[in-house]
Every structure is written in C-alpha cells, then in structure tokens.
Chains A and B, each alone.
Chain A
Amino acid sequence: MADVQPLLETKEVCKTYRTADRAGRLVLDHIDFALKEGEIVAILGKSGSGKSTFLRVLAGLTPQSEGRVMYRGAPVIAPITGVAMVFQSFALFPWLTVLGNVELGLEAQGVPRDERRKRAIAAIDLIGLDGYESAYPKELSGGMRQRVGFARALVVNPDVLLLDEPFSALDVLTAETLRGDLADLWTARRVPTKGIVFVSHNIEEAVEMSDRVIVFSSDPGRIRAELPVPLPRPRDHENATFRKIVDDVYAQITIQPGREPGKRGAPTQAIGIAYRLPPASIQQLMALLDTLTAAPFNGRADLPHLAEELTLSVDDLFPLIETLQLMGLAQVGGGDIEATSAGRALAEADMQKRKQVFGEHLLRSVPLIAHIRRVLDERPGHTAPSGRFLSELEDHLSEEDASEVFETVVNWARYAELFAYDYDSGVLSLENP
C-alpha cells in the first residue's frame, strides 16, 4: 500500500518546562502522532496530561523541546496558514463585531476588502450566525460566541482544524447543538477542511465526534492507547458498540500510575512525596463515595453511569476517582469502579468518625501528608514554615503545580484535622484552633 502523506505528523515530540531547580519537567514524552486526510482525531486525558500543550505544539504556537512536527512533510516552526484553531474560551476580540472578528484572519492575509466581506458573510451564514454580523461578542450567548470562533476558523479555508475543548465552556444543550451542526458540515463536505484534531475531556463527546480516540496518560503525557471508532455518522449514544467504546475509553483513562492495564486488584504502587496529587474537593469526594455505596449502585458502578448520575465531567470526576484509588477506598478496572471495604466503612461512618478514618487513610497512603506530620511531630514547637515543603515539591514539580499540590494537601489535612495551616504567616502547626 502506498504511504499517503499525513496532514500533520509528529515524531518523537517531547516538551519540557523549566522548573526551579533547572532540571525541567517533562510534559510530553515522545509523542508519535499522525493526522491522515479525512479523519477526526480526539485527544483525551486527565488534566495535566499535556493534551492542550500538545495541541499548541501541533499549531506551532509552542515550540517542542525535542522531535519534529511536520505539516504535509515540511517542518512547522510557527502557526501555518493551512491550520486554524478554535479556543475553549472563544478568544474573540471584544472590540470587533462578529463580522470584524471573522474578517480578522483574512485581513491579516491581505485579502481585498470586497472579497473579505463576501467570504466572511458566507462563513457566518454557514455556521448559522446570519443576522448577527454587526453584534459585538459581549452581546452574544456562549454558544453564539463559539459559533463566531468556528466561523473565524473556517473562513480562512483551513486544511486542518484544531479544536481546544471547544464545547466545554458551553452548557450541555448548546454544546450538543453545536456539535451536531459541526458534524453535519463535516459529513456533508461543506467545508474544505481535510482533518480535525480536537482535545476534549468529555468521553462521550469524543466518541461521538471522532474516527479515532487517543488517550494520553499523565505525568508525563504519553500516548497510552488509540481506539478506532468505526461507526457511521450520525452516531447513536445507545448503540452497543458505542457503549463498548465509551467503556473502553473509561478503562484506559482510569488506569492508575504504575499499574498494568487489565490486572484487576493488583497492588497499588507506592507514590512518592512529590506525586502530583489530584485536586479533589472533600465535599465531592464524600458525595461520590455516598452515591457509589448507596442504591442503585450498592458499591459497584459503571463509570459512565456514575458520571451521568453525578452530572460531573471527566475533569471533575477523575481527580475524585484517582484520590479514592490512591487511598485504597475504591478500585477501578475495565471502566467500572468498586468501593473497597475501607471505602464502605468510611461511607457508613458519622461526621466525626469520618474525619478520623479519613485522616488515618491519609497518613497511610499519602506520603507527603505523612512527611509533614512527621516533621511537625519532631519539631519542638510543632510548627514549620510552608516554604520548606513547597521547595521540596518544587524540586520535582513546576512552581504552579507545587502550590496546587500543597493546597490540596492542606485542604485534606484540614478536613481530617491532621494539622493546621495559617495562611497569613504561612506556618503549618499541630494545634487546632
């Protein structure tokens, strides 16, 4: 078979961000990726998996640290004219009208005024915005704004469209309509675009839209799995194959670090002090555990169903699930989640008891918390400055991630009354006011 040249291709792409100790933190680790003509590829992963960074590397917005990015066989070093992007936050210029925003790219390319207007109006009509030409973005609803984002991208007749979580800032209904409209344009070949890469955190959305789902693992971002979606469009969410793929994707995403896929119940590999703890809120954690152990799930649930029941998106759900896993409160495998006996016990406890049990789990399974507690115990005044632990974290994590992890730890420890933290002075202590 003759090798068809991919539209966009990456070879061994790595991306490292500099950290405080100059060691650098690896965000993308040897990514080999190719977008072929006529396909839509979805990239899924937890937050922190570097999926947005990868999209920016593809776009030529961020230079990769190693490896090559190629557009139709030629290296990419800056945004190229054949590639357009749609942003999660819409990124419209608030001082330009809808028409002005759509014309922007054409103006930059030096398209003459009359032609510019004609093409912009055609794109606006295509995406269903006719009548809104003279409106300013702030007069529009979120869904309408994102339509402007799409019109702005489509008007330059891009070869490749990059979508950065384009529907995640929209409400469910609006997102569904917009997705449907986009799928119609694509299947009816009403746009010249030959390939789409889109980043998402919504598994159903990814399976609905794409021909291929790529799952990124976190820390560093690697391609963990590729799942083809061989279903004709429009796709029915209740179709058995569809459900099967959704389950598979859930299974891939929830694989724990250090655990081989497939082996259910294998012992959790110990995590280090500087593990990037998921930013899970205690309230949501407890709600999840309660829902899981109560009817109708009774301790065991299909992840997609659980997500639906709790109306949580993947970005909200996965940190919670990871935390439960870390602390041995639940086990995940094959797209299912099951509460462990410890998890059931915690769910049955009353408020005070919960705090105590939760604290015991924290000390046992979160090395950072055990470490802080040990230091505080040993010190004569039972106090320690937060800077000390932060700088330990910053040896391994970026400054931003380090403070996020620290915040999470303080949050959990405060709930379990393991130690106190004074925001003003930045001092950790054992006394509880």
Chain B
Amino acid sequence: MAQRWGLPVVAWPMRLRPNFWDLVALPLVFGFIALVSWAGQKMSVPYVGGQQIEISLDPWKLPEYGVRTVMRMGIALGVSLVFSLAYAALAAKSKRAEKLLIPVLDILQSVPILGFLSITVTGFIALFPGSLLGYECAAIFAIFTSQAWNMTFSLYQSFLGVPQDLREAARMYHLSPWASFWQLEVPYAIPQLVWNMMMSMSGGWFFVVASEAITVADQNTTLPGIGSYIALASKEGNIAAVGWAILAMLAFILIYDQLLFRPLLAWSQRFKVEAITEGEGERAWFLTMLQRAGFFQFIAWIGEQVGDLWSRMVHRGKPEPIKIAFYERHSERINVALDWAWNVVLAALAVFALYEVITFVSSELGLGEIWRVFLLAVATFIRVSVLIALASLIWVPVGVWIGLRPPIAHRAQPIVQFLAAFPANLFFPIFVSAIRDYHLNVEIWLSILMILGAQWYILFNVIAGTLALPTDYAYVASNLGVSRWLWWRRLILPGIFPAYITGAITASGGAWNASIVSEVAQWGDDKFVATGVGAYIAEWTATGDFPRIVLGIAMLSLFVLTFNRLFWRRLYTLAEERLRLD
C-alpha cells in the first residue's frame, strides 16, 4: 500500500469524541459557570451595617432573587456534605470522639436554626468587614444548620452499619484507611445520604425566610433572595406577590430536582446492597448526559490521569513490603486509664458549659424569668404534642391508602417533597386574615402553621412503610376474612409502626423548630402572637436581647432533648425490637 502523507493520528479513544449530548452539555456547563461567577460577585459587594438593601416586589426580580437564594442553599448543602463526612467519620472511627460528638450533635439538632443565626452573626460580619460577604456567610450558615444534622446522623448510622465481611475484604486486600473510606464506607452510605440530602433541602426552603433576614443590634439586613421577597410581601400584605413567590419557588425546586436530585437518586441506586426492584431504576436525562457527553468523559479522563499520577507517587519504589513487625501489645490497663481520663475531661467540660450558661443568663435575668420561659415551653410542648397526634390521625390513613396503591405512591414522592419545602410564611395571609375576620383563637389557629412543614414526614414515612409490607400479609388477612378494624389493629398499624415512628420523630423535631417562625404571624399591619417559647425567642431576637435569646433557646433545646430521650427514643427501641419485619 502506498505511503500517504497525513496528519499524525493521535490515539483518541472513542468515548472522548464529541457527540450529540455535548450540544446540551456545553451550554449548560458554561451557563452554570457564568451564573456562579455573577452571583459570587453580587455576594461580595461592599456593604456597611444598617445600610438598607432595596427589595422589590416586582415579579421580574424573582429570577435574580431565586438564583441568589438557590446559590446560598447550594453552598450550604456543599458545606453540610463536607461537615457531615468529617464529623460522622470521626464519630464512627473513634470510640472516644464518639462519646463527645454524638451528644453534641443531639443538642445541635435540637437548637432552633434562628438560634444559631442570632448567636453567630456578629462573628461572621467581623470576618469580612465592609462587605456583604459576612452577612451572606451568616445566612448560609443558618441554612447549613437546617441541613447538616440529619445528614450527619444518617452518615454516622451508615458508617456503623457497614457489613463486617466487606470491612474484612477491604483490609484483606490492603485498602488504606483513606481508600477504604472512599471505596467502601462512603459508597455504602450514599443511598441513605442522598435521601437525607433531599429532606435537608426541603428543610432549607422552609427556613428560607428566617435565614435571609439578619438582625444585629436593632439593625435589620435583608439579603436579596426569595425569602426576603416573601417577608416583604407578608409585611405589605401583597397577595399577588406571594403568588409569584410560590411560582418561583416551585420552578427552582423543580430545577434542583431535575439537575441535582433526580440524577443523584438514579445514580445512588447502584450503591444499594440489595438487588434493585424493577421500576425503581429511574433514568434521569441529566445523568445520562453526564455519562455520555464527550466533554464530561474528557473531564473524567483527566481525573483518572491525575489519580494514576497520585497513585504512582504514593507507591513509588515498591511493591508493597510485607507488613510484618513484632506484635505490639496495647496494655489493657493503659487503655482503661485513658478512657477514664477522657470521661473525666468530658464531664468537666459539660459542667463548665452548664455553669457558663447559668451565670450568663442569671446575671441578667432572675429565677422568675426562667420559670416564665419554662411555662412558655410547656405551652409549646402541648401544642407540638397535640399537633403530632392530629397530624397522625389524618395522615396515617391517607398514607396507608396511598401506600397500598404503588403507582400512586411513586408519583406522590416529589409532590410531598415540594409540600415539605413550603415556608410557613407563605400561609400567613390565609391564617392571619382568617383569624382577623372571624375572630378566631390565636393560640389554636396559629399552631397549625407549626405542623404545615413537619406533617409531611409522617405521610412520607407511612407511605414507605406501607409499601414495604409484604403482600402475603394482605392475602392472609383477606383469606382469614379479617374485619376492617381488626385489619388495622393487627396488620397495618404494627406493620407500619417503625416507619411511622421515624416519621413522627422527624416531624416532632420539625414542629419544635418551626415554632419560632409560626408562633408569630404578620400580614400587612396585622400581627398575631401565640403564647410559647418560639414566640419568645422570635420577639427577643428582633430586639436583640442576648440573655433572653440564650435562655429561650436553651429551654427549647432542653425540652426537645428530654422529650426525645424519654419518649421517642423508647418508642423507637420498641419498634426496632418488636415489630421489625425480618
């Protein structure tokens, strides 16, 4: 064959060649980069405290506000992820760290997010003087606190649950602790983590109004975003603006769903240990694009090269020497002594912290105030308990009904998630005008706002629990001619109990947290306040009275912790032991 002159042929693997998917991928990528840099620039404009940032109710401003809110939530989600990985890994790997980290997490979880905001905001502002960035960081931190804890718990639980044989295989094949973290523990945790990230995102939306209004020493700063838009709309009593805000939120939740959670869910299927049931293996167009487009293949290829380079550096000059050494015997006695010392340190820390809080609060406030706040907390406690009971009465039958019809159940998931994300403030107009026009009891009707976001967890879990019930049970029941009532009492209620408890725990936590944004409702010039610790915290936060804020938050956390320990935790153990299906 005649020699031909031509361009040298570079080995260019098939998968790296551009294809149809690149037409979609490239605009998306560059659009995304442009958007991020635009929003980033906006976030760090010069700003001095007290300066008024103009929020406009013009619907055309909503896309801009939306992008900024979404950006904050995205950053917060990223930070939550990093935080959760580090925190959960530490708690799961070290027995001693676990003793400190898990109770701390328990407490952090019970502190309302507004509490974090009012306590930490000054620090963030001092970090970036003369710039809006400090305020942005405070807002992001507030969203972070509404997202991080449940992700951390889920990761911690998953890390503990990694099957022993997989751990042994990882050690047997010499995965380093680092490699085994990324190749074994994190993959194992992914399905549960993705699920919790979705829940976290809903939680973030629910508090979006609270997180974008930052109060420092009587100065209100409202960051541009959907939350501020909603806040202003409620203040001015503009019902049309509320409608636009709902629409914008819906759009942004859908975009998040399409671009982040659908792909994540589809991708996380592969990390499930048990076999996939058909129909669950959803496809997500965005994931398909990521997997097919030459552009992303190219990025992946670069990643592989870097990884290989790294691996070559790490393993330079080996085959790995055989790991042999004289067996190092840890003295049992030294270990026990160390454990004791550590326990003493922890106890001392706890006593010191308690002492600090007490002296700080009591230097400004008397016993009478503490007693009063205690009573307020009791009021909120009654409200939460009644609401959870009511919500259960309504949503358990509905959940079971949906759960018995799988096609409906699969479609209900995104809807429920959207409902859970609905900020309570969006309902202010309805409730405030109803209370005003019909002279309704504030104590009762404002309470409903508390459960608006939280109730969906019950519904969600009941649906999941019903779906998981083996169909044989239903066959047996109908075979035996079990009556309606007996069917509920003997089959359905015990069957869904564990799932219901999980949902109710989450809902109860959510309701406590929501008390701050729902015990005070304002629409236009009408403002209604219910009796409760939530209203107490919200009102003193607006004035910036620090000792009272701390007292309120401490009381609320104490109630949540006690309630969880004495009530929910026990039910949970009962559910685990007695009513498990396997």
Q: Chain A residues in contact with chain B, CB under 8 A?
A: 56, 59-61, 63, 68, 71, 74-85, 87-95, 104-105, 107-110, 112-113, 136, 138, 152, 156, 424
Interface residues of B in 257-283 (CB under 8 A from A): 270-276
Complex contact A110–B318 (CB within 8 A): yes
Q: How far is the CB of B324 from chain A (nearest CB, A)?
A: 4
CB closest residue in chain A, given B321:
A81
Instruction: Pull 15 A–B residue pairs with CB atoms less than 8 Å apart, ordered by A.
Output: A63-B327, A78-B323, A79-B173, A79-B174, A81-B323, A89-B165, A91-B163, A93-B169, A94-B271, A94-B273, A104-B173, A108-B176, A113-B308, A138-B274, A152-B173
Complex contact B324–A76 (CB within 8 A): yes
Known: A91-B169, A136-B270; 7 extra A-B contacts, CB below 8 A, are A61-B171, A77-B328, A78-B171, A105-B173, A108-B174, A109-B174, A110-B312
Which of B165, B172, B320, B322 neighbours the largest number of chain A CB atoms within 10 Å of its CB?
Answer: B172
Known contacts A87-B169, A109-B315; decide if A79 and B323 are in contact (CB<8 Å): yes
Known contacts A74-B324, A94-B273, A104-B173; decide if A87 and B183 are in contact (CB<8 Å): no
Complex contact A93–B324 (CB within 8 A): no
Q: How far is the CB of B296 from chain A (nearest CB, A)?
A: 19
Provide the bound-state CA to CA distance between A306 and B97, in Å.
55
Complex contact A75–B173 (CB within 8 A): no
Provide the bound-state CA to CA distance between A90 and B323, in Å.
25
Provide the bound-state CA to CA distance between A108 and B177, in Å.
11
Which B residues are in CB contact (< 8 Å) with A88? Answer: 165
Q: How far is the CB of B125 from chain A (nearest CB, A)?
A: 44
Complex contact B322–A87 (CB within 8 A): no
Q: A77 is contacted by which of B175, B311, B327 (Cβ under 8 Å)?
A: B327
CB-based closest 10 A-B pairs: A110-B315, A105-B173, A91-B165, A91-B169, A74-B324, A138-B275, A78-B323, A95-B271, A108-B174, A85-B172
Q: How far is the CB of B330 from chain A (nearest CB, A)?
A: 9
Provide the bound-state CA to CA distance between A75 and B314, in Å.
26
Complex contact A75–B324 (CB within 8 A): yes
Q: How far is the CB of B169 from chain A (nearest CB, A)?
A: 4
Interface residues of chain A: helix, strand, loop or mixed (majority): loop
Known contacts A87-B168, A91-B166, A104-B183; decide if A110 and B320 are in contact (CB<8 Å): yes
Which A residues are in CB contact (< 8 Å) with B311? Answer: 107, 110
Which B residues are in CB contact (< 8 Å) with A156? Answer: 173
Which A residues are in CB contact (< 8 Å) with B273? Answer: 94
Known contacts A79-B171, A87-B165, A94-B272; decide if A110 and B322 are in contact (CB<8 Å): no
Provide the bound-state CA to CA distance between A94 and B173, in Å.
16
Provide the bound-state CA to CA distance between A138 and B165, in Å.
16
Which A residues are in CB contact (< 8 Å) with B179? Answer: 107-108
Interface residues of B in 128-181 (CB under 8 A from A): 163, 165-166, 168-169, 171-176, 179
Provide the bound-state CA to CA distance between A60 and B312, in Å.
27
Provide the bound-state CA to CA distance between A109 and B318, in Å.
9
Provide the bound-state CA to CA distance between A113 and B171, in Å.
21
CB closest residue in chain B, given A94:
B273
Provide the bound-state CA to CA distance between A109 and B171, in Å.
12
Known contacts A61-B171, A110-B311, A112-B312; decide if A81 and B320 are in contact (CB<8 Å): yes
Q: Judge whether B187 is part of the interface by a CB distance below 8 angstroms.
A: yes
Which B residues are in CB contact (< 8 Å) with A80? Answer: 322-324
Interface residues of B in 99-122 (CB under 8 A from A): none
CB closest residue in chain B, given A65:
B329
Provide the bound-state CA to CA distance between A108 and B314, in Å.
10
Which of B169, B176, B187 neighbours the largest number of chain A CB atoms within 10 Å of its CB?
Answer: B169
Q: Judge whether B470 is part of the interface by a CB distance below 8 angstroms.
A: no
Provide the bound-state CA to CA distance between A56 and B276, in Å.
32
Q: How far is the CB of A285 from chain B (nearest CB, A)?
A: 25
Which A residues are in CB contact (< 8 Å) with B533? Answer: none
Provide the bound-state CA to CA distance between A424 and B578, in Å.
8
Known contacts A93-B183, A110-B312; decide if A77 and B325 are in contact (CB<8 Å): yes
Q: How far is the CB of A53 from chain B (nearest CB, A)?
A: 12
Q: How far is the CB of B19 from chain A (nearest CB, A)?
A: 20
Q: How far is the CB of B161 from chain A (nearest CB, A)?
A: 14
Q: A84 is contacted by which of B172, B176, B275 (Cβ under 8 Å)?
A: B172
Q: A109 is contacted by which of B270, B272, B320 (Cβ under 8 Å)?
A: B320
Q: A59 is contacted by which of B166, B172, B314 (Cβ under 8 Å)?
A: B172
Provide the bound-state CA to CA distance between A340 and B132, in Å.
91
Q: How far is the CB of B143 from chain A (nearest CB, A)?
A: 30
Q: How far is the CB of A358 from chain B (nearest CB, A)?
A: 30
Complex contact A93–B184 (CB within 8 A): yes
Which A residues are in CB contact (< 8 Å) with B314? Answer: 110
